[in-house]
Structure 1
């Protein structure tokens, strides 16, 4: 099992290494669907070490470590030192992983399954995947295959870190944002701010063509 995909960058000695780190955010809605998929994968791969930040949802019974939440700065260090990272499809979750150079596998919460209030995660993840900033898993089988790939080939799931700059990129991303509208009841201003964060972190040439 791979231990790190970026051996040239030193990691603090006290940061634990996990093969897989999963974070499903702190939304009060349950995300049992993803927990079940991960639990099934870990049953099939008992050698895989896993940290699962589960929020208000009960974590898998067979993960190495379960935690309801932890300080963001600590979680980002663990992301950086992990072989693979799996997150919910929310803006904050994907952007946090990208901040430390990780291209996460993501599973968007779905409103029709009562996992979230609307489907902004579905739309956001699709756009991020189109720019190579996340890899969406559609179902349990698809997730298991992508976890196998990420654990065997961690270098494929690393990219440039988010960095500030690019007003032009911000304008281009705004055009992407306008292709869909958040569902009623969603805070459009907050979502727009997240979109701006995306463009500030995505590799410049992807938006400067």
Structure 2
């Protein structure tokens, strides 16, 4: 029997709590289908859910390389890190109506990238579970040339296009 897929969850470094995503990860972890490691920032980590407050760049790369799927907030850096390590991340944008951020830029950014197939998005726990199932089935491959990858170049071009708009 194979090991349960490892899911890396990255909430970033913003000081706003992201209890919604961390709570979803805790629920899915408790169901036993996946193993999780949550970079939880300033959000309290529920008991029994593995994670780290912050990860340095080496730790983050190691986690992303080992992960079968990646879930992240809609921060460009976190998305780019996941893409750079061969993942199509599942993005759960922070919602300012829930006190998770100061404005709706993550909602708009996730919608922009999702429409272009750069990420998949999840807005509730059922969507997250379905996206994780597909991501774990698809797996990922670590690109041989990370910094000069076509994916990274495409991502940077999309960011520039968004900024121009």
TM superposition score category, shorter chain reference: 0.7 to 0.9
CA distance in structure 2 between the partners assigned to 1:38 and 1:67 by the alignment? 14
1:143, distance to aligned residue in structure 2 (A): 0.6
Counterparts of 1:161 and 1:2, CA distance in 2 = 29
Instruction: Tell whether 2:23 aligns with 1:36.
Output: yes
Tell me, what secondary structure is at the counterpart of 1:20? strand
Alignment of 1:168-183 (within 5 A): 170=157, 174-179=160-165
- Say if 1:59 and 1:99 are closer, same or farther in 2 by CA, change over 3 A: same
Does structure 2 retain, via aligned residues, the 8 Å contact 1:91–1:121? Answer: no
Q: What are the within-5 Å matches in structure 2 for residues 66-85 of structure 1? A: 66-85=51-70
CA distance in 2, matches of 1:140, 1:152: 18
- Is 1:136 the equivalent of 2:121? yes
* TM-score, length-scaled by structure 2: 0.82
Structure possessing the higher radius of gyration over alpha carbons: 1
* Residue 152, structure 1, aligned to residue 137, structure 2: yes
**Displacement of 1:174:** 3.7
Q: 1:145 to 1:176 in 2, by over 3 A?
A: same
Two-structure CA RMSD over aligned residues (Å): 2.9
TM-score (ref. length: structure 1): 0.66
Give the paired residue count.
Answer: 161
1:1-209 pair list within 5 angstroms: 19-44=6-31, 46-63=32-49, 65-155=50-140, 161=146, 163=148, 170=157, 174-179=160-165
Q: 8 Å contact 1:98–1:161 — kept in the other structure?
A: no
Which ranges of structure 1 fall in alignment gaps of 5 or more residues?
A: 4-16, 180-209
* Equivalent position SS for 1:30: coil
Deviations 1:127-148 (A, max 9, x none): 2222222110011111111112
